[in-house]
Amino acid sequence: MPRYFTEDHEWIEVDGQTATIGITDYAQEQLGDIVFVEVPAAGASLAKGKEAAVVESVKAASDVYSPVSGTVTEGNAALEDDPALVNTAPEGDGWFFKLTVSDAAELEGLMDEAAYKDFVAGL
């Protein structure tokens, strides 16, 4: 499954019309210990680049933006009980939400893993 990245440090993994979205390992390192996560509800309509979720750490609160437009099919309920999953598995079990992609062409402006690594190295 292809995985893409944004300059705001979100990742998106696409399987057909379904996408799983979370924050990168780099993002969780910058935030520190995650203490609270608010994910979007199923059925929510999200627009590319708009606020989709909130993550709070002992250092700061941050918005998580949707890398593409679509309709949320599932929020990661496990994060409600264990927000630290974002620290331990940010690009695995610590995913934030899944959605049905409404415009696959929006994926074209995102970075692949190599481009994202170069981007982070330049920060």
pLDDT of residue 1: 86
Joined together, the tokens standing for residue 37 give: 């996560």
* Segment 70-115, tens digit of pLDDT: 999 999 999 999 999 999 999 999 999 999 999 999 999 999 999 9
* Segment 30-86, tens digit of pLDDT: 999 999 999 999 999 999 999 999 999 999 999 999 999 999 999 999 999 999 999
Going through the chain in order, the beta strands assigned E by DSSP cover 3-5, 10-15, 18-23, 34-38, 45-46, 51-57, 61-65, 70-75, 97-101
Using CA atoms, how far residue 88 sits from 44, 52, 78, 115, 119, in Å, is 27, 21, 13, 24, 23
* H or E element at residue 31: helix 25-31
Q: Are 86 and 28 in contact (CB under 8 A)?
A: yes
Structural domains for the chain: 3-104+113-118 (2.40.50.100)
- What is the rounded distance in angstroms from the CA atom of residue 49 to the CA atom of residue 56? 19
pLDDT of residue 53: 98
